[in-house]
Amino acid sequence: MLILNHPFIKPLQLVLIKSKEDIQNSLPTDFLILDENLELAKFCFEANVEYASMVTDITKALLLVNLGAKFLMTRDLQIARDLQHLAETYLFDSKVLLVISKEEEIKEAAKKGIDGVIFWKL
């Protein structure tokens, strides 16, 4: 199980992306996070830029998988479970991450078979 951005594990520089300029101005070490913006995802895919995307919709998540999203992130455990099932069925290259804020949430995600968690407070 992946555990990203935990205080004991190398912290990530999380960068919420809202525009192409944000992508162009990002550093190679930044962990880029898009919302479900398919235009920006396409731009990243075509520019070979690694990114994660927040998802709330299964159809958009499937499109993001085809646009090369490295991680599909959600705050909703049920959506994470649904995405995980689809990832195993269709052998996604993308990993499913549950966005969490408390260490206790790791156990629940692990019990549900989610690929990983990422600590992120907005």
**pLDDT on residue 49:** 98
Over 80: is that where the pLDDT of 122 sits?
no
Q: What is the pTM of this model?
A: 0.95
The pLDDT tens digits of the residues spanning 50-81 come to 999 999 999 999 999 999 999 999 999 999 99
**What is the SS3 assignment for 102?**
coil
Number of structural domains (the chain) is 1
The pLDDT tens digits of the residues spanning 85-105 come to 999 999 999 999 999 999 999
CATH of the domain at 73: 3.20.20.70
Return the exposure string of 93-119: e unless at least 16 CB atoms fall within 10 Å of the residue's CB, then b.
ebbbbbbbeeeeebeebeeeebbbbbb
- Domain that includes residue 54, residue range: 2-119
